[in-house]
Structure 1
Amino acid sequence: MAGALAGIRVIDFGQYIAGPLAAQLLGDQGAEVIRVDPPGGPRWDTPANATWNRGKRSIVLDLKTDDGRGAARALIASADVVVENFRAGVMDRLGLGAAAMVAANPRLIYCSMPGFASDDPRAGFPAWEGIVGAAAGMYRAARGGTPTNGRPIYSAIPLASSYAAIQTAVAVAMALGVRERDGVGQVIQVPLFDAMFGAIGYDGLRVHAGDLPPMGAGVSLTTQFECSDGRWIMFHTGNGKTQEVLDAAGVGNWVRDGLLDRDRLAKNPEAAREMIEKARVLFKTRPAAEWEALVNAAGGECAVCRPSAEWLTHEHAIGSATIVEVDDPILGKTKMPGVSARLTLTPGAVPGPRHRLDADRAEVMALATAARGAAPTAATPEGLLRSALDGVRVLDLCIVLAGPTCGRTLGEYGADVIKIEAPTRPPGFAFHGDVNRGKRSIVLDLKTPEGQEVLWKLIDTADVVVQNFRKDVAQKLGFSYEQVKAKRPDIVYASLNTYGHVGPYAGRAGHEQIAQAATGMQERFGGKGQPQLQKYAVNDYGTGFLGAYSVALALLHKRKTGHGQHVDAALAYTATLLQGQFMQDYAGKTWDEPRGQDIVGSGPLHRAYEAIDIWMFLAAPTVGALAKVEGLSGIESLSGAALEAELEKRIAMAPLATWQKRVAGIPGVAVHRVVQGTRELMDHPWVREHGLSVAREHDDMGVVTTIGPAARLSRTPPRAGVPAPALGRQTREILAEVGLADRADALIASGGVRDSMGMAMR
């Protein structure tokens, strides 16, 4: 069956990563994507273009000429969606900007993805990936430096571009639903800098009355361990199967004897060190693959910290279509990421290989002559409309980060999200304060008849159900997709988990750390030493956004047909997508991406340097362009290590402010301070003013700061929503809405339903 976006035409003016990836995500769901390149082809010649430009028709247009701009206007007139990621104002100067194009075609959805927003003081900066990453606090400081000015550890994963692309796809799907409802398009802007706040997530949370405990505080066996074959595994204790795992390993007495008692270890540092050493010795008794099999067979969480090259050929990656093979016209048979948002009734699919440059000129120009973007049949209102998901009710049965992020995102776009909590959930504010804002809360014990009764009353009123249990767990609890569909065939039911719902690992448990290990993230970031975690929970949050994208697509299809369906997203899909720059395997592939804890960039022209006062990130298109900067003349003949050494010496002779003045006005060259303190970022006046950092009064916790939504939609802007409620705060209110007000006291007395459980700062 056709994808959810079948019949939608997208014109992709994007370059580098963000724009092409956003258009790829739309194309994977059935949209017809026409790619517009400048003479000479994409500005970045990379094997990853085989992924980002797959299935797109190709035409070359010179937008600096009247003919090129005229052809572009004709294409836009025929389009449903435009995607571009030039600097703010570039398309306006070409006469192809959002205001003019939407005025000519009121049904058009016009998406801009600049590095910095049009009203950001840095709007004119050349927004290289490293520049945006430095501005958004992406690079952790190495040990030994100060918290705000240590040597940055560069991560090669293009998070800013990838997060902008994912959030743009969500926004487009929402805007298409609005257009189906109201008949009008709108303008979307998702700046790369703003999009990074979606990855910052929990790290941006602040309770002003006191500090939250840091993630991972205390002694834990959730870490990497070296095994007998010299390889590393990621072991995780988060799903409560530690006793079963240690029994299988022959050391079940550890738990029974109290050796892992958290209170004891917290009070006795020597005992904690001894416990970690015992674990290190244990894990060195077997090879990594054996540990991975043993732990998972016992119901625990473990993954080999494998390189991406290994993941590209791994049995689960292939068996789950997380990795697919495409016959690319340039690279030949190429393994690459598959579809990252899965729908059962309108399944996405890789639309085929990329087309050769300008191969579709005649066909595309013929299409452009028949403008399909007809104006609405009736006058449309000016200004804001009802929110994109106004009238949609979502039941969120998720825990931790990925699933609740999906629900939070749907709430930002206007859905009524009811968070169903278990009475056993600890009443801590940490993750909850970030991912459950904008929701209402009810506490149900789904193992009781009373809890099940209320759940099914809620399902009767719902449009969407979101859960993130492992495969088959929801069925045991009585609310699998098949069970819900039997009563509500029109339901949109989203499942989020670690490895997806098909393939040999489909039933395995996992958290963020497991996905990073399995797919190559940890191995790349660690380099030759111990594997290392990314600074943020990038797969959890990314999967939440991709889950919301899947739901928005399914709701669009439901609006057209009345049919519901099952959709799914997974941490492994997301981790593969985020590493898309490196996730190609073909004959002659060279695995030379930046890696390890000692790197500060991807090369001399894209890396951090230490100025006389602070670390800064420098990016330039060529040595020649950089040589035009005052103080850097004469470097044209240098390259590689010699160029880096010379730049290190010269840059160290002046402060950041001097370098900022010197690079101003030189095309393509930019510098930016490496921001390393999340609180500094969240407290920045511009960030607060534009809703990326939101401080509100919480009923129980006082003033609380969280991140806000990044996407800007001109007609249906997302909203941050109210602060996350105490668990069960709206239980009685929700019971009344489903006709159970007169039984509320009895239901609560039964223990199957709870009202407010309060909050604690942990």
Structure 2
Amino acid sequence: MSAPLAGVRVLDLGHHVAGPLTALLLADQGADVVRVARPGAAAADPFLDRGKRRVELDLKAPDGLAAARALAAEADVLVENFRPGVTDRLGLGWAQLRAANRGLVYCAIPGFGAADPRAGVQGWEGVIAAATGNCRPRAGNAPPGWDPDRPTYTAVPVASNFAAFCSAVAIVAALTERHRTGLGDRLEISLYAAMFEAIGGSGAYPVATGLPPERAISTLGSGCYRCADGRYVQFNPIGATNRFLRWFLDAAGVGHWIGEGLADRARSAADPGPLRARLTGLFASRPAAEWEELAATAGTPLAAVRTTVEWMGSEQAVADRQAVSVIDPIRGPLTVPGAAVVFDGTPDPTGRAAPAAAADPGEVLAGWRRPTGEQVRAGTPAPPAADTADGPYAGLRVLDLTQILAGPSAGRVLAEFGADVTKINVPQRRIGAHGVVNRGKRTMLLDVTSEAGEQVLWQLIEQSDVVTHNLPAGTAQRYGLSHEQLTSRRPELVHVSVSCYGGSGPWAGRRGYETQGQAATGLAERTGGTHGPAVLGPYNVLDYGTGMLAAFAVALGVYRRAGTGRGGAGHVSLTRTGVYHQARYAVSTAPGDEPRGPEALGLRPGHRFHRASDRWLFVAATPGQEDRLTALLGTGPDGRPGTFGGRTATDWVRLLGESGVAAHEVVGLAELMTDPRARGQGLSITQISEEVGEVVMPGPVVRAERIPVGPGPAARRPGADGRDVLTAAGLADRISELERSWVVQLDALPTGWAHF
């Protein structure tokens, strides 16, 4: 089967991380990507430039600009991540290019969006982290005696990575819409906006109660434990019931704890101390690897804490092609991350090295030139151009069988682009974050484990274009929902599955959550530093990042089907996302000078968090700007540079901005969700819940000129659309029977805002 993006031509004007990573996600799915570099720039990056071609152009010189404009005239996609207005001044803006190429999909990825009053501020990671509250330890993961007002810095480029994930989805959606209209679009996904995708349910709350305090996950003994060999495991037997804990205790030979009431959820929530003390002693009795194997056999979510290097060399990472080998033309043999999304036809990244030298722009252009009259380079011929867009996924029927956060987030993103998404949940269960992750969907409670429920499920599948699930490999096989079973029965179906550890390899059937993904891939080891493992940051960067990559997988399948009529199967996992968040450190020649641990404040004195008189701020001076800091701060009596303590953070941000130095005060989450700048850009929205009234939550992060992208209606109570879904499936005459036999739950519905 052909690669999903075969024939798509991408001009990569990106720099740093966000732009090049977006283009890499496209290149890994078969797109022909040409990276534009400055003459004399550093050699190609072994990861970000993998599988791309490279040309060197001086965009400020007439001949370099002319060559770039000629390539843009033949491209399907252009990616850039300059500040707003820079490409316009260069002569490479959307308005300047679309006249010559009406099918161009133009993706801008600035730090702050063009409509943001901070548009001129350089969007360094620390600046965006301060602006979005992504600079504090996860609840329950701070060292003893930690000052909650103190920020912490991570070298993981969370905002850039999320911006790339979101941009890849939006680009492929725009290419799909181009099949219908023949027209491209201008997309904008700022780093600031993309962080609202990472925030997710953490930023959602009923107005009547306000944003609740962050709570550590400690129910049923969840947490990090030291083992007999001095290593750690991350243990999370959470879920709708206490079954994972019971399975684990039985397998560990301490099943009698259950009779003592230690597996009681309510008791554990009220007083987690006794169970945690017993588990601390239990885990100290065996090495981490033994606990990992025991938990895997028992079916309980648990992972030993590894370094990133250890994960990249693990049997699972290699077997699932999360780690692949390449021969870099400059550095020699390397291990680098594999593709972020595995889809039918995704090229094997093994051997897809970065280019050794720059290509001749004229030769690239000659190969890119379109035949006269051709409207769209890849896919089916476009109809006459239309002036309006209904949305790339209008009429697309998605059946969402996923649970928790990652999978449901993918369905919510597809609904934002116009898809008709039906969400299936299990009856009689609490559904966390429903009001956020299931916004814009129809909702139904169906017991698919029963024979009658399975019949209903297949009736729904037969009427769907896309199916998503996050069942473990063996469970999916039993339900007939494996890749092979679905594809053989419905070859036109697009099917995407989500897992913790990957769709193949010895760990494919293991269960895990955000914390297991972080532990296995090195994020927890990196974050904790010398204090022992800790979960990275306040937001679920693996769950929501994987959700966006799952949406990308669906988008790839839908795009290819528009050109071929055939669907296909894709897979994403939390550990793949974890590797991508740490991609710089997952390459086998990774740098070792990274600031680590909760005490880290930044990269150097001029690029770090500082304390002002009222709050902290992040200052992002480049090495060439540090004399400006000296001029602003002055020197003290001892001859040392002055401090930021004499003024407020707001004053410093203004003064630094006037001197050309990027800075931002640290903004808390509650403040962020009510910030007029976030509200004005639709990144923090208000809806009316039928259960709890007015609610606040993050809104869609993609801005497009033509494609309508919107949040959709507020989520209804779980299961509230059951009768309508059954009727639409032709099962209206069976509704009473299905309800009586407990196959569907249509009344006495659970709450969608259970965590408030």
User: Could you say which TM-score interval applies, normalised by the shorter chain?
Assistant: over 0.9
Alignment match, 2:610: 609
- Provide closer, same or farther for how the CA distance between residues 277 and 218 of structure 1 changes in structure 2, counting only shifts above 3 A: closer
Paired residue for 1:30?
30
Q: What is the Cα deviation at residue 374 of structure 1?
A: 4.4
- Say if 2:671 is the partner of 1:662: no
Q: Is 1:671 matched with 2:663? A: yes
Following TM superposition, by how much is the alpha carbon of 1:613 offset from its aligned partner in structure 2, in angstroms?
A: 2.2
Distance 1:723 1:214, change over 3 A: farther
Shift of 1:646: 4.9
Match of 2:98 among 102, 113, 126: 102
Please tell me the residue identity of whatever aligns with 1:93: R
Which one of 704, 721, 727 corresponds to residue 718 of structure 2? 727
Structure 1 counterpart SS, 2:106: strand
CA shift in 2, pair 1:634/1:332, >3 Å? farther
Shift of 1:504: 1.5
Q: Shift of residue 213 of structure 1?
A: 7.7
Q: 1:21 to 1:346 in 2, by over 3 A?
A: closer
3-state SS in 2 of match to 1:527:
helix
Percent identity, please: 41
Residues 387-433 of structure 1 show CA distances to partners (whole Å, capped at 9, x for unaligned) of: 1101110001111011101111111111100011111322x5x4111
SS of structure 2 residue aligned to 1:582: helix
In structure 1, the residue matched to 2:297 is: 297
Q: How far apart are 1:159 and its partner, in Å?
A: 0.6
Paired letter, 1:163? F
* 1:17 paired residue number: 17
**Do 2:116 and 2:681's aligned partners in 1 also have CA atoms closer than 8 Å?**
no
The structure-2 alpha-carbon separation of the partners of 1:101 and 1:326, relative to structure 1 and needing over 3 Å to count, comes to: same
Which whole-Å deviations, capped at 9, do the CAs of 1:487-532 have from their partners, x for residues lacking one? 3221111110111111121111101100000000000000012211
Aligned to 1:755: 746
Match of 1:441 in 2: 443
Give the match for residue 600 of structure 2.
599
* Residues in 2 aligned to 1:738 and 1:202: alpha-carbon distance in whole angstroms: 31
1:109-188 → structure 2 map (5 Å cutoff): 109-140=105-136, 150-188=149-187
Deviations 1:231-259 (A, max 9, x none): 11111102532122112222111112212
Residue 66 of structure 1 aligns with which residue?
Answer: 62
Are 1:105 and 1:373, in contact at CA under 8 Å, matched by a contact in 2?
no
User: 1:625 offset after TM fit, Å?
Assistant: 1.4
- State yes or no: 1:343 paired with 2:348: no
Choose which of 398, 411, 436 in structure 1 pairs with 2:415.
411
Moved more, 394-403 or 604-613: 604-613
Q: Does the residue aligned with 1:599 lie in a helix, a strand or coil?
A: coil
* Cα displacement string for residues 589-613 of structure 1 (whole angstroms, at most 9, x for unaligned residues): 5533221111111222321011222
Equivalent residue in structure 2 for 1:651, among 631, 644, 649: 644
- Specify the SS of the correspondent of 1:710: coil
Q: TM-score, normalised to structure 1's length? A: 0.92
1:172-211 aligned at under 5 Å gives the runs 172-210=171-209
Report the residue type matching 1:514 in the other structure: Q
**Alignment equivalent of 1:78, drawn from 58, 74, 78:** 74
> How far apart in 1 are the matches of 2:313 and 2:372?
42
The letter of the residue matching 2:336 is M
Deviations 1:433-481 (A, max 9, x none): 1111010011111122332222122112100010001112122234333
Within 5 Å, give how 1:145-294 maps onto structure 2.
150-210=149-209, 214-216=214-216, 219-238=219-238, 240-267=243-270, 269=271, 272-294=272-294
Indicate if the aligned counterparts of 1:102 and 1:109 stay in contact, CA closer than 8 A.
no
Q: Which residue of 2 aligns with 1:640?
A: none
Which stretch of structure 1 is more off in the superposition, 357-366 or 448-457? 357-366
Q: In structure 2, what is the equivalent of residue 381 of structure 1?
A: 386
Q: 1:224 to 1:747 in 2, by over 3 A?
A: same
Cα displacement (A) at 1:168: 0.4
Contact map agreement 1:3 1:348 (CA 8 A) in 2:
no
Matches within 5 A, 1:343-362: 343-347=343-347, 349=349, 352-362=352-362
Residue 536 (1) aligns with residue 539 (2): yes
Most deviating of 217-226 and 598-607: 217-226
Equivalent position amino acid for 2:107 in 1: C
Q: 1:663 to 1:630 in 2, by over 3 A?
A: farther
Q: Is the 8 A contact 2:620 2:662 kept in 1?
A: yes
Spell out, residue by residue over 1:322-365, the C-alpha distance to the aligned partner (whole angstroms, 9 max, x if none): 01111112222111110111112455646711113524445324
Is residue 741 of structure 2 the alignment partner of residue 742 of structure 1? no
**How much has 1:214 moved relative to structure 2?**
4.8
Q: 1:243 to 1:558 in 2, by over 3 A?
A: same
**Aligned CA distance change for structure 1 residues 146 and 307 (closer, same or farther; 3 Å):** closer
CA contact (8 A) 1:77 1:368 kept: no
Q: Over aligned residue pairs, what C-alpha RMSD do you find?
A: 2.3
SS at match of 1:184: coil
> Partners of 1:554 and 1:394 in 2: how far apart?
12
The 1:132/1:590 distance shift into structure 2, 3 A limit, reads closer
Q: Secondary structure at the match of 1:650?
A: coil
TM-score, L = length of structure 2? 0.93
Aligned to 2:673: 682
Q: Give the drift of 1:187.
A: 0.6
Which runs of 5 or more structure 1 residues have no equivalent in the other structure? 636-642
Note the C-alpha offset of 1:749: 1.8
What is the CA–CA distance in structure 2 between the aligned matches of 1:351 and 1:76, rounded to whole Å?
28
For 1:590 and 1:36, locate their aligned partners in 2 and report how far apart those are by CA, in whole Å: 25
CA distance in 1, matches of 2:118, 2:350: 36
Say if 1:157 and 1:372 are closer, same or farther in 2 by CA, change over 3 A: farther
In structure 2, the CA distance between the partners of 1:185 and 1:346, relative to structure 1 (3 Å rule), is same
Aligned to 1:638: none
User: Aligned letter for 1:425?
Assistant: R
2:490 to 488, 491, 496: 488
CA shift, 1:145, in A, is 7.2
Residue 51 of structure 2 is matched in structure 1 by 55
- 1:609 and 1:59 map into 2 onto residues whose CA distance is 40
Q: Contact 1:78 / 1:371 at 8 angstroms: preserved in 2?
A: no
SS state of the match for residue 435, structure 2? Answer: helix
CA pair 353-502 structure 1, distance change in 2 beyond 3 A: same
Amino acid at match of 1:670: A
Q: Distance in 2 between matches of 1:611 and 1:496?
A: 44
The count of corresponding residues between Structure 1 and Structure 2 is: 736
Per the alignment, residue 552 of structure 1 pairs with 555
Separation of aligned partners in 1, 2:150 and 2:591: 28
Distance of aligned partners of 1:473 and 1:51 in 2 relative to their CA distance in 1, 3 Å threshold: same
User: How far, CA to CA, are the matches of 2:633 and 2:151 in structure 1?
Assistant: 26
Q: Secondary structure at the match of 1:593?
A: coil
In 1, distance between residues paired with 2:369 and 2:714?
Answer: 50
The offset of 1:628, in angstroms, is 2.3
- Aligned mates of 1:26, 1:229 — CA distance in 2: 43
Change (3 A) 1:373 1:441: farther
Indicate yes or no: 2:576 matched with 1:585: no
What is the CA deviation profile of residues 653-684 of structure 1, one whole-angstrom value per residue up to 9, with x for unaligned ones?
A: 333233223323444x2111012x21211111
- 1:73-107 per-residue CA deviation (whole Å, 9 max, x = no partner) reads 00101100000000000000111101121122100
Query: 2:500 corresponds to which residue?
Result: 498
Q: Letter of the 2:413 partner, please give it.
A: T
Contact 1:441 1:728 in 2 (8 A): yes
Distance in structure 2 (CA, Å) of the matches to 1:170 and 1:439: 19
